[in-house]
A and B are shown apart, each in its own frame.
Chain A
């Protein structure tokens, strides 16, 4: 009896600091992440799980969840030509953003990176639209693009009256009209990102290449664009996610119409959920939208962004 407490204390004296340190370390970590983790769980994880739950019901948002229909909502969504049309629009938007906005913004960024008279004014002009909210942009362009509006009057004044179209009412044109407005609004963001990226390229590289006789085209191809790689990849990621989730601008300008010709998955979702009060079905659309974004982000992280991220983490470790 007399020796055992001693032995215990001795044992503790050896073990306690080790165990205690580990426990304390984890407690500290838990303490640091608890506030953020709580917010994340309450406002992200729980709603996502709830949404998946709702998506199996035919539910108007009123009364209890009682009509379980399994995958019925999913079948309806993928079978609905209006939803397929909306998905197609999102796809076209992604392709146009990468295919047109990238070269355009890169070109402007390269131009603004050179010593140029009035460069800061030009930078300001290109960046200003990005500061406007989508709602304000939409309302301004709604007025500009009205039949007989500012754009039509301008075209007529410079003798291009034959180019006047029903920019928002022509079923085959409206989606591309919206794309131009989106480009106007978001190109400033890409330009600023690329300008920052260009600033990070050491001038020695260009000097050395110039001494070796590389033409400016070759410098662009083999130095500038590879060095801008991480910036371009991050921009492409933001642009694609933004294109998939596009809502505000379209909703205010056209409500996705006429006849669904400018719809996106998000406008379709709000139409079904808020206007038609088909809350269960709209939640299904939200889950599909979430799934597309989730799968895309994960794949993009694994296959595209990994080299940028691992590069930076190894640098941090070094």
Chain B
């Protein structure tokens, strides 16, 4: 017995020495390149996006063995509305997190919660082109976009043909004429997810983008001065649209994305001819169809221009997804990781899997889907892309915009009231 105990003791000691020796051996090179972990919060919680981000985390670790990337996927609204604001207020924020730019980014910068990436990205940021501007505050880069899309009309080619609408409308009067033709043919012209409010705001945003000049749009997102008559004009055009009653029955209570009776589901199942939505819509529609495929009748056209508007023709409304580094993130590792996401290798895969519309120059050809190709073409040829106004404005003001336009859709607010409510929300800020 005693002999055995002694043996065990010797064995344990020997093992411990080996472990210590190994640890010392590992510790030595550690001092040269410190070992860090990047916790990465993103919103790609399913499908191609989830697979891609998991692969990207592994690839980056293979290239930089001292950096371990821990991706954590959240449902989009949970991430944007709850997890990120709370985590940024805590002492333990994620290192890399999803950022939609605009007014929320300004608020995060003001509170000192995001790192200024300018010095780290100088050498390569040009490869992403002009779209990075949406993630700058006072000329400094605080987040890097990986996908930027534009809002437009997803439409049913068969229903258009059936109603005798032979070409997609290029101007607002043509658009109103198409609505009249569709109604005559007994087809619901447009599906809208009124319950969620932001789909209503897309119309108001877009009409403002078409009738206000670029300078007015850009100044208003900073000064919150809405005295230019173009804002009222946008609301009046919304009223004109509402008067034509182009929407499905009960559109005020229709969710945008959940279930076959949502606005995306109505379009996907041939119950409505159009929906004004972002570039993500095919991905939303696919699981809402009976055979789980993107319908073959689906087409896309950009929001029609408004004659007499002050905006340059083909000005568009859009937005995108990016990532920023929190104030606690290790640098330069975090910026290096964002550089990897911006590399052609990753950007091409974003395009080829239909996960998003990549921004790096030279990655455009990876987009193969014909509809996403037309979205990309519109994006490339547009003179000005206005960020969704509810994102561009500071959060509380953007939400009041959504609420006020939703009230207008419900007949509870006039165009003038919408403008004054947004201005009032800006004063509270």
Contacts and interface: CB of A to CB of B under 8 A. Distances in A.
Contact of B253 (A62, A258, A271, A274): A258
B399 A275 contact: yes
Interface string A22-63: 000000000000000000000000000000000000101111
B369 interface: no
18 contacts: A60-B107, A60-B396, A61-B89, A62-B107, A62-B108, A63-B113, A76-B428, A146-B250, A169-B253, A171-B410, A257-B406, A259-B252, A271-B403, A274-B81, A275-B81, A276-B399, A277-B85, A277-B107
A166 interface: yes
Contacts of A143: 259, 261
Contacts of B110: 62-63
Interface of B: 81-82, 85-86, 88-89, 104, 107-108, 110-113, 194-197, 248-255, 259, 261, 395-396, 399-400, 403, 406-407, 409-413, 428
Can you list the 8 inter-chain pairs with the closest CB atoms, starting with the nearest? A63-B111, A168-B253, A258-B252, A169-B250, A259-B410, A169-B253, A62-B111, A276-B399
Nearest to B398: A276
Given A63-B113, A142-B259, A255-B195, 6 more contacts: A171-B411, A171-B412, A255-B196, A258-B410, A259-B252, A259-B413
A259 B404 CA distance: 8
Contacts of B86: 61
Contacts of B428: 58, 76
Given A166-B250, A258-B406, A62 B400 contact: no
Nearest to B112: A63
- What bracket does the count of chain A residues touching chain B fall in? 20 to 34
A58 B82 CA distance: 19
A90 interface: no
A271 B395 CA distance: 12
A276 B425 CA distance: 10
A278 B254 CA distance: 26
Contact of B85 (A62, A146, A171): A62
Contact of A147 (B248, B406, B409, B412): B248
B253 A166 contact: yes
Interface string A235-277: 0000000000000000000110111110000000001001111
Interface of A: 58, 60-63, 76, 142-143, 146-149, 166, 168-169, 171, 174, 254-255, 257-261, 271, 274-278
Contacts of A277: 85, 104, 107, 395-396
A259 B400 contact: no
A254 B248 CA distance: 17
A146 B85 CA distance: 34
Contacts of B82: 274
Classify the interface of chain B: helix, strand, loop or mixed: helix
B242 to A, nearest CB: 13
B103 to A, nearest CB: 10
A257 B396 contact: no
A233 to B, nearest CB: 37
A264 to B, nearest CB: 16
A58 B394 CA distance: 14
A222 B283 CA distance: 65
Nearest to A279: B85
Contacts of B409: 258
B91 to A, nearest CB: 13
B395 A276 contact: yes
Contacts of B255: 142
A259 B111 contact: no
Contacts of A259: 252, 406-407, 410-413
A80 to B, nearest CB: 11
Contact of B113 (A62, A147, A271, A274): A62
B399 A254 contact: no
A278 B428 CA distance: 10
Contacts of B406: 257-259
A9 B107 CA distance: 71
Contacts of A61: 85-86, 89
Contacts of A278: 396
B188 to A, nearest CB: 11
Contact of A257 (B248, B253, B259): B253
A72 to B, nearest CB: 9
B85 A168 contact: no
A227 to B, nearest CB: 44
A146 B195 contact: no
Contacts of B85: 61-62, 277
A258 B195 contact: yes
Nearest to A145: B253
Contacts of B194: 169, 257-258
Given A168-B250, A169-B253, A257-B253, A62 B89 contact: yes
Which of A148, A259, A278 is the most central at the interface, judged by chain B CB atoms within 10 Å of its CB? A259
A38 B413 CA distance: 50
A82 B385 CA distance: 34
Contact of A60 (B81, B251, B252, B395): B395
Contacts of B104: 277
Given A147-B248, A169-B253, A277-B395, A257 B197 contact: yes
